[in-house]
Structure 1
Amino acid sequence: MEGKLAITVTTEELEQHLNIQISFQDKNKFLKEALFNISPSNFLPVVTNMDRNSVRFMKWGLIPSWKNNSKNSKGLTSISLSSFEGKPLLLNALDKHCIVYVSGFYIWKNSVAGKIPYYITSKKRKLFGIAGMWECWETDDKNQDSFCLITQKTNGPLSYISTEWPVIIKEEKESEWLASTSSELMNEENFSPEYDFNYHPVNQKIIKSIENNPKFINRITYVVGEQTNLF
């Protein structure tokens, strides 16, 4: 799945949602301001199945623990649920599963005008959790936590945009999902349906830009072969 993420809530709202206090050091390093343009290799707040009472800031782009050098590796950014079907060894990797917290995400739609990004948010929640896998890459002098998102096939309104979208855990099921064994994680009763989400087209600049611009989440209008309302 091609896309980016956003966190537009305050650190206080994040702490309140998780009922977990985030250290001043992490706030100052990772969440000094709202983040409207989160790309792979950036760090996001994650709660893991092995430590459900703390927030860890992990690098987006899962690096396998056996990798010799993570410096030049982009890592795996997402993996589809369909990849686990009939593959017990891969399913075992879900022993390290996590929830990645965001306010919204971007997905690209292919069109005659090129790739058109859409920004997607929950109709009910200012913050929601995306299912993920995580890993700790270890060297003699440091540890690097990283994660990838778990995606699923679209079969509702979002199929207009893409064939895949993130697996989003229902808020009331988050604790239960984190405590699940790998064989129980695929229960779709834990997943939020597509109709719980709003979406609208946004500026194409988000695709390649590294700028943290709040205007990236604003709706714009596209016509065939042309983009209007640019900033």
Structure 2
Amino acid sequence: MCGRFTFVANPDEVAEEYELHQPPNFSIRYNVAPSQDVLTIIHDGEQNRAGNMKWGLVPFWAKDQKIGHKMINARAETADEKPSFKRLMERRRCLILADSFYEWKKTEQGKQPMRIKVSDRNLFAFAGLWDRWKRDEQELVTCTILTKEADDFMNDIHHRMPVILPKDHENEWLDFNLKDATEMKEFVLSLPTESLEAYPVSQHVNNPRNDDEHCITSLTD
């Protein structure tokens, strides 16, 4: 799964990287947690658009928005079959921007938080799905991160991992004209694996209220 990540980036660099007309508005985050806003990118058929969405998918048909607490991740292997995700795989795909994510490795001393980064990129995107929920005067735009079985590197830490889009496949994931859910699932599962690196951080990150540089400080330095 993917339950925490970081987003330490420069707005101008984000705008250039994702061909945005203006730098997006966001806060530096060292410990992004479910139910919080995350910076995402969609394609509207003409151009990329950046905006914040709440992390934790609330499908448009949900009676209660609390369902979002259980839907921070979607399994890529079955996303083309599940009612909550199939329609989104066809027409509501997004990039969820990050520069690292956390996972907790089981050790003899307990669960050790690890910060995981892409080796050759400071900024990357998770493959995400999004939806819009409305009830009376309330409206929410929410998202979820696709996950898959861990590769050899991640398997030493956890058996699942988020789907990280290689840079040259990001536009394909956003492509407004690709609308077959099964094809998009196969696309995600066939992506080449990014080279990752990881290091241990303190349990300071365990508390989602902690959102400072101490969260990403290596214990091995």
Q: TM-score, normalised by structure 1?
A: 0.83
Of residues 95, 101, 116, the one that matches 1:99 is 95
Change (3 A) 1:88 1:71: closer
1:73 offset after TM fit, Å? 4.9
Change (3 A) 1:115 1:56: same
Are residues 1:69 and 2:97 paired? Answer: no
Of residues 79, 89, 94, the one that matches 1:84 is 79
Aligned position for 2:50: 55
Aligned position for 1:8: 8
Q: Which amino acid aligns with 2:218?
A: R
SS at match of 1:74: helix
> 4+ residue stretches of structure 1 with deviation over 6 A?
none
1:112 offset after TM fit, Å? 2.1
The 5-angstrom pairing of residues 169-180 of structure 1 reads 169-179=165-175, 180=178
Change (3 A) 1:49 1:20: closer
SS at match of 2:86: helix
CA displacement, residues 37-75 of structure 1 (integer Å, 9 cap, x when unaligned): 100011111112546521121000001111233268525
Of residues 132, 135, 142, the one that matches 2:131 is 135
The 5-angstrom pairing of residues 121-132 of structure 1 reads 121-132=117-128
Distance, in Å, in 2 between the alignment partners of 1:197 and 1:6 is 15
Aligned length: 214
Aligned position for 2:162: 166
SS at match of 2:132: strand
Decide whether the 8 Å contact of 2:148 with 2:189 is kept in 1: no
Are residues 1:39 and 2:33 paired? Answer: yes
SS at match of 1:168: coil
Change (3 A) 1:91 1:127: same
Q: Which amino acid aligns with 2:55?
A: W
Decide whether the 8 Å contact of 1:3 with 1:108 is kept in 2: no
The 5-angstrom pairing of residues 143-222 of structure 1 reads 143-179=139-175, 180-181=178-179, 182-185=181-184, 186-188=186-188, 191-194=191-194, 196-221=195-220
Distance, in Å, in 2 between the alignment partners of 1:189 and 1:76 is 20
**Structure 2 gap segments, 5+ residues each:** none
1:9 offset after TM fit, Å? 1.1
SS at match of 1:45: strand
Change (3 A) 1:73 1:148: closer
Of 50-59 and 97-106, more deviation after overlay is shown by: 50-59
* Identical counterparts, % of pairs: 23
Of 89-98 and 160-169, more deviation after overlay is shown by: 89-98
Decide whether the 8 Å contact of 1:109 with 1:118 is kept in 2: yes
CA displacement, residues 188-220 of structure 1 (integer Å, 9 cap, x when unaligned): 5863414x1111111112122412111211211
1:91 offset after TM fit, Å? 3.1
Decide whether the 8 Å contact of 2:93 with 2:129 is kept in 1: yes
Decide whether the 8 Å contact of 1:169 with 1:190 is kept in 2: no
Q: TM-score, normalised by structure 2?
A: 0.86
CA displacement, residues 14-46 of structure 1 (integer Å, 9 cap, x when unaligned): 1121121457xx62xx42xx2101000111111
